[in-house]
Amino acid sequence: MSSLKTDRIYQGNCVEVLDSLPAASVDVIFADPPYNLQLGGELLRPNNSRVDGVDDDWDRFQGFADYDDFTKGWLTACRRVLKDTGTLWVIGSYHNIFRVGTVLQDLGFWVLNDVVWRKTNPMPNFRGTRFTNAHETLLWCSTGPEARYTFNYEAMKALNDGLQMRSDWSLPLCTGPERLKDEAGRKLHPTQKPESLLHRVILASSNPGDVVLDPFLGSGTSAAVAKRLCRRWIGIEQDPDYVAAARARIQAVRSVDDPALCATPRKRAEPRIPFGTVVERGLLAPGTVLSDASGRWSARVRADGTLISADHRGSIHQVGAAVQGAPACNGWTFWHMRVEGDQTLVPIDLLRQRLRAEMTGGGTGESEAAGEALQ
Amino acid sequence: MSSLKTDRIYQGNCVEVLDSLPAASVDVIFADPPYNLQLGGELLRPNNSRVDGVDDDWDRFQGFADYDDFTKGWLTACRRVLKDTGTLWVIGSYHNIFRVGTVLQDLGFWVLNDVVWRKTNPMPNFRGTRFTNAHETLLWCSTGPEARYTFNYEAMKALNDGLQMRSDWSLPLCTGPERLKDEAGRKLHPTQKPESLLHRVILASSNPGDVVLDPFLGSGTSAAVAKRLCRRWIGIEQDPDYVAAARARIQAVRSVDDPALCATPRKRAEPRIPFGTVVERGLLAPGTVLSDASGRWSARVRADGTLISADHRGSIHQVGAAVQGAPACNGWTFWHMRVEGDQTLVPIDLLRQRLRAEMTGGGTGESEAAGEALQ
DNA sequence: TACTGACTTGAATCGTAAC
DNA sequence: GGTTACGATTCAAGTCAGT
């Protein structure tokens, strides 16, 4: 059996590359396969601008049977390289996710959760013909009903401010500076996923040093996040342009300097923001040093949204209380960060306020949000 | 062909009952089928206990294959009784929804949306082994890619405080007084759905007087809500105890006294008014100059109800599109006229509203007043 | 510098009555 | 049944120019 080479992109057909890798050598597979969209003609917005739909060659299939064969092929190859203790994630929409789920189950994979990525800023339905398609679905599977697997329950609970992480995740689309652009300033890849999504996926189901494989690497989001979180990674991608862009992107990523920070603790009226969300959304990098206003105590940020100080570990509130020897502490106002190019310390509550502003800015499109706005 | 009898529960096997009903007679089907592997004896072979199976792979395959057959059976029967313009809803979880979705698509149903029911109060995952399973999935399908169907867009938008209704719905579980109890105070049915969920389903996809059928009626939620919303209804249920409980429950429901309160009028359904009628009726004199809201473009009204601008001639829509160089244009809202004794520009749509108010007799008073103000 | 407003964009299965 | 023409339809974020 050959040894596995990690931290590299293989250019080529994913089944062929997978078949060339040693069996049972990968801990987590994250797959974002073509969705088999079946778009009609062009679609115009009410302002007559054209919607840039996905019409790439890689998303053309003859029909469901063709797509099922394709799915069976790459899932079978994935199963071989996956350790018995490994897990598999697949993301998709209603166009393909039922096909994928059925094939998965037929191949013996065991669904642990279906997770809903609830988009905070989806594209509307311009013609008023259906419900706004505002989510995508991730399937998370083990290799069988009896298989052991990695689930960092405490990390997920901490990331959700002490409440169990649910099967629905509200996260924004990948836009702004995070979105890779080509020389002409157009989006490089039509379906680039947000890093916050992969942050949660990888943190939940792997440990530092584990191997994360992506058979449809695309713009390289999964590998970039895996590298930052001190996991080993393997990407497979057919398109040379995507490979080149992903290589450059991943190259620029710095791993969190201490892997321990990447492994694995409420207010009422206002929407509660877990501190983990601040980290996940990239407003504060794991490893960042926080201190209190006087600079007497300090602690470092971990990827799951907990803090670690010289003697204590836990939520921003727990560590804040512990270092002071106090019974309780509001970590949001106790802990401060240093502003770039400035010596002043500002409370991390500013970051929470920024996220709250986003949430309440225009409503989330659900009546629940409307209810909150009334309070 | 026999005529359809509505507003009643049929006790029996759902496929047999469905096969006894006339074809193409139902507008909406809502189905809450068994969630796989916990089915009655007729679906699992007696010697194939899932837990103690001799061969896991074989057992699992048999389990899914049987479930797929079961699904194919009732969905085929549903397709026959459903009108071509009808739609089908199925609710499920990750245990069965991929099987259902695949069978649906293979039978030619066309998925319009997958809707996520996000539970505001889900049961936690007590063992901390997975994400809290906090949602269920509904599939909404038409009978084919070209089929027309009912979607009350405006009603859904109104229900969501003026924003398009999204594909994720946050609603609480059925608890409290709404939950049916037996004599001993235990819950009568293990999976009773909340009425709020059915309210949204039925309001979205049917009109007063339409026939709503539920092949797995259970505690009768769908029929109860259908009756309240002035729809006709049909329920099919095998278990005599559930039938009795559902009959009593539905009997106690009072329909909304005015069916008009259970429908939101569609803009598309309003009577079409040719622009020529506006001229013909003297609401706008030939030769009148119209302009867009900004005053950038202008055109003159001809006696035949067409417009003529410097370079273009045709309908209000055609000239509006042509002057802008746009692919399409709604002339009613694009073109404006000057109000006498005032410098403000108002859209000519006001004139159409005035004619429509005349046609419907009383009108709302609002549009009539608006029309009078123009004189 | 901060704010405003116009413009752009995102995995999209996106119309239908009348002739 | 095919063709024509009406005329209905968008939310959250990010970017950028102008004040």
Residues A173-194 pLDDT 10s:
999 999 999 988 999 999 999 9
- Please tell me the least confidently modeled range out of B29-33, B117-121, B245-249, B336-340: B336-340
pTM value surpassing 0.85: yes
B110: which nucleotide lies closest, measuring CA to C1'? C13
Q: What single-letter DSSP state applies at residue A52?
A: -
* pLDDT number for residue B264: 84
What does the pLDDT read at residue A168?
98
Q: A118, B168: Cβ pair inside 8 Å? A: yes
pLDDT digits (tens, 9 = 90+) for A205-253: 999 999 999 999 999 999 999 999 999 999 999 999 999 999 999 999 9
Domain limits, chain B: 8-37+48-262, 275-360
The owner of tokens 């840039």 is: A52
Position B218 scores a pLDDT of 97
- How far, in Å, are A277, A343, A345, A350 from residue A340 at the CA level? 21, 8, 10, 14
Give the model's pLDDT for residue B39.
42
Q: Which of A92-106, A128-142, B267-281 has the weakest average pLDDT? A: B267-281
φ, ψ dihedrals at A85, nearest 5°: -90, 5
Residue B217 to chain A, least CA–CA distance (Å): 25
- Which of A331-335, A340-344, B292-296 bottoms out in mean pLDDT, i.e. has the lowest? A340-344
Q: How far is B363 from chain A (nearest CA, A)?
A: 26
| Most confident among A125-129, A266-270, A277-281 (mean pLDDT) | A125-129
Residue B56 has pLDDT above 60, yes or no: no
Bases of chain C below 7 A from a protein C-beta are 8-18
Q: Under a CB-based contact definition with an 8 Å cutoff, are residues B71 and B103 in contact? A: yes
Positions 182-201 in A, CB within 7 angstroms of strand C? 187, 190-192
The amino acid sitting at B10 is Y
Chain D: nucleotides below 7 Å from protein CB are 5-15
A55/C17 CA-to-C1' distance in Å: 31
**Nearest nt by C1' to A33 Cα:** C11
Q: List the single residue in A with minimal CA-CA distance to B158.
A: A367
- The phi, psi pair for B289, rounded to 5°, reads -95, 125
Q: What is the pLDDT of residue B49?
A: 34
Q: How far apart are CA A195 and CA A102, in angstroms?
A: 28
Q: Which nucleotide's C1' sits nearest to the alpha carbon of A174? A: C10
**Measured between CB atoms, does A65 come within 8 Å of chain B?**
no
Average pLDDT over residues B292-317: 95
User: Would residue A158 be called left, alpha or beta, if left means φ above 0 and alpha means ψ between -120 and 50 degrees?
Assistant: alpha
Q: Is the CB of B148 under 7 A from strand C?
A: yes
A85 touches strand C (CB under 7 A): no
A164 and B131 in contact by Cβ < 8 A? Answer: yes
CA dist A254 and A243 (Å) reads: 19
Query: Is A48's CB within 8 Å of B328's CB?
Result: yes
pLDDT reported for residue A224: 98
- A113 — contact with chain B (CB < 8 Å)? yes
Q: Using the structure, give the distance in angstroms from the CA atom of A107 to the C1' atom of D12, rounded to a whole number.
A: 40
A125 and chain B in contact, CB less than 8 A: yes
Q: Which fold has domain A8-37+48-262?
A: Rossmann fold (3.40.50)
Rounded to an integer, the average pLDDT of A91-117 is 98
- Rounded to whole angstroms, the Cα distance separating A88 from A99 reads 16
Between A1 and A146, the more confident residue is A146
Q: Number of A:B CB contacts under 8 A?
A: 155
Cβ contact (<8 Å) for A64 and B153? no
Q: Which of A159-163, A367-371, B25-29 has the lowest mean pLDDT?
A: A367-371
Strand duo A307-308 + B313-314: pairing: unpaired
d(CA B34, CA B241): 17
| Cα torsion A172, A173, A176, A180: sign | positive
Residue B44 scores a pLDDT above 50: no
How far apart (Å, rounded) are the C-alpha atoms in residues A303 and A288?
10
Distance B81 CA to D8 C1' (A): 32
Per-residue confidence at B341, pLDDT binned at 50, 70, 90? confident
pLDDT of residue A270: 64
Report CA Rg, chain B.
Answer: 27
pLDDT band at A337 (very low <50, low <70, confident <90, very high): very high
Q: Indicate the pLDDT class of residue B370, thresholds 50, 70 and 90.
A: very low
User: Could B128 and A370 be called an inter-chain contact, meaning their C-beta atoms sit closer than 8 Å?
Assistant: no
Residue B51: pLDDT band (50, 70, 90) is very low
* CB-CB contact of A286 with A302 (8 Å): yes
Asked if residue A173 keeps its beta carbon closer than 7 A to nucleic acid strand C, the reply is yes
3-state secondary structure chain B: CCCCCCCEEEECCHHHHHHHCCCCCEEEEEECCCCCCCCCCCCCCCCCCCCCCCCHHHHHHHHHHHHHHHHHHHHHHHHHHEEEEEEEEEEECCCCHHHHHHHHHHCCCEEEEEEEEEECCCCCCCCCCCCECCEEEEEEEECCCCCCCCCCHHHHHHHCCCCCCECEEEECCCCHHHCCECCCCCECCCCCCCHHHHHHHHHHHCCCCCEEEECCCCCCHHHHHHHHCCCEEEEEECCHHHHHHHHHHHHCCCCCCCHHHHCCCCHHHCCCCCHHHHHHCCCCCCCCEEECCCCCCEEEECCCCCEECCCCEECHHHHHHHHHCCCCCCHHHHCEEECCCCCCEEECHHHHHHHHHHHCCCCCCHHHHHHHHCC
Residue nearest D8, CA–C1′ metric: B268
Q: In sequence order, what E strands does A12-52 have?
A: 26-31
Of A112, A129, A365, the CB nearest to B160: A365
Residue B172, chain A, CB below 8 Å: the answer is: no
Chain B, window 146-165: residues with a beta carbon less than 8 angstroms from a chain A beta carbon: 151, 153, 156-157, 159-161, 163-165
* Residue A124: pLDDT band with limits 50, 70, 90: very high
Q: How many CB atoms lie within 10 A of CB A283?
A: 16
Closest-CA residue of chain A to B165:
A131
What percentage of residues in chain B have a pLDDT greater than 70? 89
Mean of the per-residue pLDDT values of chain B: 89
pLDDT value of position A371 = 29
Res A372: pLDDT: 30
Q: How far is B3 from chain A (nearest CA, A)?
A: 32
Minimum CA–C1' distance nucleotide for B320: D7
Distance of CA A252 to CAs A6, A249, A285, B3, Å? 17, 5, 15, 70
Interatomic CA–C1' length for residue B142 and nucleotide D9, angstroms = 21
Check whether B297 has a pLDDT greater than 70: yes
